[in-house]
Amino acid sequence: MLTSIATVSVSGTLPEKIAAIAAAGFDGLELFEQDLLVTDETPATVRRMIEDHGLALTLYQPFRDFETLPEPYRAAVFDRAEHKFDLMQQLGADLMLVCSSVSPQALGGIERAAADFRELGERAARRGLRVGYEALCWGRHVSDHRDAWEIVRRTDHPAIGLVLDSFHSLAKGIDSETIRSIPGDRIFIVQLADAPLIHMDLLHWSRHLRNMPGEGDLPVKDFVKAIYATGYQGYLSLEIFNDQFRGGSARVVAKDGHRSLIHLMDQVSRESPTGRTPARVLPDRSVVHGVEFVEFAADERRADALASTLHTLGFRRTGRHRSKSVDLFRQGQINLVVNTEQAGQARSAFLAHGTAAYAIGLQVDDAQATLARAVALGAEPFDQDPNPGDIRLPGIRGIGGSVIYFIDRSPDLVRLWEHEFVNVADGAVSIDAGLERIDHVAQTMFVDELLTSLLFYTSLFDVRKLPMVDVVDPGGLVRSQVIENARGGLRLTLNGAENRRTLAGHFVSELFGAGIQHIAFSTGDIRRTAQALAANGFEPLRVSPNYYADLAARFGLPAVELEALQAAGILYDRDPGGEFFQLYGRTGGDGFFFEVVERRGYAGYGAFNAPFRISAQKRHLAPTTLPRLLARE
């Protein structure tokens, strides 16, 4: 598979774009004309920069409003084409994109268009150049790749071929199966983009909301499967117009783009006939069976405070690391690790972010295969030298500088806790609260990191994404994206803060970057759990009494049950599958908190309750914290 990306897809100056594209691992780039026109570099210098970075110049684009013009416009547009051909030869580009005309002067007509392209093909061929024709989905006369192909077919010239763009076809709902009848050698390049499924003006949708394959809702995989059925062997190129990406890091966006193509082709190769696509080389997406542990970084003083909170939740300190300043807290199948080492990644995480849940261990079938897939998708391996005799855990660097470890049933990893921790007697007295496992983990980031996180997880793990929802915070909106697997072994809520006035934005600001903002534990009996927590001194979050009054109207709950829920601070929701109960702890100064949930067939995450919970959390923030947050509102 040959990969390419248009320079318009990433931010920065042209030299910065070229460097970012090369660093991400692409084979080539499309040069967007505006990127050339705004640089002070000569075309010859640009050519050298591209070649010095080991990249091919796959396409020069776009050439607009060419076909079916009357005179004198027709003669003028051919003169303009000759000028572009001169420029292409200086750049070392052999392919130019012509997009379907939107000119009010264009007359239309397939035969007239074919005649124009036949002449353009003759002129291009004399210079050893080629031209690809693309149907814009808002084109004046040609807005469908089937019509564009008919023009190319009737042109019948080796220098004239078709450019297929997934957005232009899929945004109009054109069946990708219509591509299969096109000869692969007549397709000169394929451009890919995904997008959220929104009903809006096609031009605005295309220019502002495209994203990487896998980040949106369009059936890009089916589009590419149809492409490869034609025998096409050329570049898969990304052309992404996105306001957020234009303001983001060029290297991050380029890396995301390359990851999206690798993941896409891995999916396509698994579902296409043998020999139609490059051989499958990646291990399977990993099935996560559960969260093995969450690790916190802290210093001694903050570790004591965290331990006190864990005791109120019914956890007990059951182990001390044999060679490190690391404690293990357990309840049910939950393992929480508190690391106060003065060196290593935990110390670095603490110095950068303060007390934080900086690492997570996931239960997978094959840790090494999961690691291999992650590295192939561009993840950075994490390898910290263990102390003598300690087990080396396979891992990668995750979102926001976090660490993700992979734990399987291999002999070394099975004996992790018994080998590395010495049993200790916890002096604190706490009642087991019946917490069973980690139900879900919430990671918070600024909204411009949300798509990166989504692609990171969905390309690595066998998970599905749920529809994105907007959570209303008194300080603004938070975009929330859930990813989960069918077994419930991995449930992540990814929350993107649009400003620092929200509770989520406050957390990211205080933590100096993305991180785990809350951990939800499951219980089979939340009322019994609430009683045990109260006996342990746990202080639940209290929402407004008006919330419970509304519950009576929404669900018709008996008065006795409502009173019990309110007394315990339990929130309630219901969906067609069943009931959901939530109990929140008080929020720390940075915005971190714990949650307890009971599911009775319920499939969601209590999104309806989020505004009431957030308002209550803001009211209960520490007095020294609340003024800082309110001042931003």
Contacts of 581 (CB under 8 A, 6+ apart): 526, 565, 570, 571, 572, 597, 598, 600
Count Cβ atoms below 10 Å from residue 469 Cβ, excluding itself: 16
Q: DSSP secondary-structure letter at 373?
A: H
Tokens of 415: 């004996």
Q: Is 239 annotated as a binding residue?
A: yes
How far from chain centre, in Å, is Cα 512?
20
- Of 453, 467, 166, 408, nearest to 288 by C-alpha is 408
Residues 105 and 107: their CA atoms lie apart, in Å, by 6
Q: Is 440 annotated as a binding residue?
A: yes
Coil vs helix vs strand at 334: strand
The dihedral region occupied by 130, where left means phi > 0, alpha psi between -120 and 50, and beta the remainder, is: beta
Peptide bond into 283 cis (omega under 30): no
Beta strand 130-134 pairing with 160-165: parallel
Residues 536 and 557: their CA atoms lie apart, in Å, by 29
Coil vs helix vs strand at 495: strand
Residues 430 and 537: their CA atoms lie apart, in Å, by 9
Angstrom distances, CA of residue 313 to CA of 195, 429, 461, 540, 590: 43, 11, 30, 10, 19
Beta-strand (E) ranges in 524-577? 570-575
Angstrom distances, CA of residue 188 to CA of 27, 88, 134, 185, 427: 16, 16, 10, 7, 72
How far is it between the farthest Cα atoms of the chain?
92
Tokens of 603: 């499939």
For 130-149, the DSSP string reads: EEEEE--TT-SS--SHHHHH
Q: Is 518 annotated as a binding residue?
A: yes
Query: Could you write out the three-class secondary structure of 389-437?
Result: CCCCCCEEECHHHCEEEEECCCHHHHCHHHHHEEECCCCCCCCCCCEEE
Q: DSSP secondary-structure letter at 500?
A: T
Beta strand 356-364 pairing with 56-63: unpaired
Q: Is 384 annotated as a binding residue?
A: no
Q: Is 157 annotated as a binding residue?
A: no
As annotated, the binding site for a divalent metal cation includes 134, 165, 191, 239
As annotated, the binding site includes 134, 165, 191, 239, 440, 518, 595
As annotated, the binding site for Mg(2+) includes 440, 518, 595
